[in-house]
Structure 1
Amino acid sequence: MRRAMPSCFAWMALTAAACGSQDPLAEPEPGSTAQLSVEQTLSHPNDGIILLVVDDADTAEAAALRDKAARSLRAGLDGHLDYEWGSCGSADPAEWHSMNLRVVVVRPSAPDGESLVTPLDEPSLAWISHTATPAEADALTESVTTALGQRLAAPGEAYGPLRAAKRALELVTFARLPVDEAESALVASLPTDAFVQILIASTRDDEEEADVSELTPDEASLPAMTTSALEP
């Protein structure tokens, strides 16, 4: 069953922490994403996991969407920099400005065993630092750009961004058990009190045959989830 997924971005934020009413990610490039957050008190709002589920078609349209996703991520990283250096942090360069962000790229057409690109595969997908500089944010964005284009959909592979997003989301929020050594290692490496954000961006319809109810996260396991989507 094909499910209409017009070219769009959809951000989901889970258990996101903020100082006052500040979002954990800064407002993205106008027209490219929408964000909503659920705020709770956590140890540090820059402890986060970002999942990127972006169309992996070998087309110019999908390539442009992948580029837009990377640029949107970079715009969002400014929010973390603002937290560390702004009113919630300190402008003193002699102090620590901590960052503990991990990006996981989710390939929506790849088989399950090849669907995730994690900081364990590409260490540059983790931004773990006590300096938190714009140059570090640029380096993370460059790594994400590379990872998004490393493996494109192969002929005959079913395009399943909803299923891929659900599997990745439930894994990093500890709502399902790992199924192999790679997933076990990823789970063991993750902080247990981090916020999670997920971006789903697509230029084509979902091709999975499963019922819609099987492709959405378990709300009982993920009670603090809000979503928003905008077409470009």
Structure 2
Amino acid sequence: MRDANFFTKPVDKWQRKYEALRASFVERLPDHIVAERFGLSVGYLRVLRHQFRHEKIDFSEAVAEGSRPRRRIDAATRQKIVAWRQRELSAGDIAQLLHQEAVDISVRTIERILAEEGFKKLPRRTQLKIGRTIGGAEVPEVATPVAIERLEGQRFESAGAGVFLFAPFIAQLNLDAVIKEAKLPESKSLSATNYLFSILALKLLGTERYAHVDGHVFDPGLGLF
């Protein structure tokens, strides 16, 4: 008997793609959550979204596997695929890099080529474990606290500087002492005060969801709040 698992844990590949895209477009879930839920890599999910937007995926009828002839890949592209796998990039990541070069190849085709070249599937890993992002950029170092005294004389431009208008009110409430007295959980790199103030800053800026912070992460002025 079928139940909710038919939708939340799809077995067929076409349905897993459908449910993943639905969770991404309709439910607007973060990429890493969708990828983990449906057993995909974040890079592959981005490729799926691109293919769907450009009408390269058709869910009107499930396509039987093996019904299409195999696509022939030129030697130059094959060499790129091999070189990227030697850097331990997944098939989804490779598909995204090829797309950036205006070469659209399905993840399944890339997996077939890698198998033909003798490569085994990579175990699932986080980008942090890999040590780089999809574009090959290094993962940045963990942020460390900066003493205000070290910033004396420096000037910053900030799109979120308006949050500092609330500083007198925060001081009046003695919010820092309240947070310490509450004995909230904290880590070695992030104190409870830093954690609460970062959430407060997002709320003061009108950021509705914590997943929508990309526009603020490189704001040095906001980082001082």
Smaller-chain TM-score bracket: under 0.3
Give the structure-1-normalised TM-score: 0.22
TM-score (norm 2): 0.23
Identify, as 1 or 2, the structure richer in strand: 1
Larger Rg: 2
Bigger proportion of residues as helix: 2
Relative contact order: is structure 1 or structure 2 higher (C-alpha 8 Å, sep ≥ 6)? Answer: 1
